[in-house]
Amino acid sequence: MIKYREPESIHLDFVPMVDVLFNLLVFFLVATSLKQAEREVQIALPMTKAVGPLSATLREIVVNVDAQGQIVVAGKEVDLDALKSMLSAAAATNPEQKVSIRGDRNTAYSNVVNVLDACKASGLQEPYIDTMHVE
């Protein structure tokens, strides 16, 4: 007589599923961090004899205001007077200079207003305030 064994409980192997989820997690983390990277990238530019950019309208100044109220432009911390002189020089070169202000949501509103005042005092009439889109 043939004896039948009780079917063993079904065994699901979770290791491949965890591998797939881990790969998806890493992919989305990398994609998100690349999206938030600063727009100014360090690259090796070709040499030229002409001084200055070919088109001054293409360059945008990005002013960051962190949670403590520190002003950062192009990765360097600057004070309000240095920002005003930098913006005045940019406005003298190009009256239609684009400026984006990125204020931390936890900073005092007066810190962002100080940067807006520096833009107006420098002759830049249309600074942009960057925000994050939430759905």
Top-confidence residue, 135 or 59:
59
List, in order of start, the domains of the chain with CATH numbers.
58-129 (3.30.420.270)
Task: Say whether pLDDT at 65 is over 70.
Answer: yes
Helix (H) or strand (E) holding 16: helix 15-35
Which neighbouring-strand residues pair with 72?
64, 77
Beta strands at 71-73 and 60-65: parallel, antiparallel or unpaired? antiparallel
Question: CA-CA distances (angstroms) from residue 48 to 45, 51, 52, 53, 54?
Answer: 9, 8, 10, 10, 11
Q: What is the pTM of this model?
A: 0.55
Across 99-106, average pLDDT: 87
pLDDT of residue 22: 92
Higher pLDDT, 6 or 116: 116
Annotate 31-50 with DSSP letters as a single string: HHHHHTS-S-----PPP-SS
Q: What is the pLDDT of residues 17-58, one digit of tens each?
A: 899 999 999 988 877 765 555 544 555 555 666 555 555 445
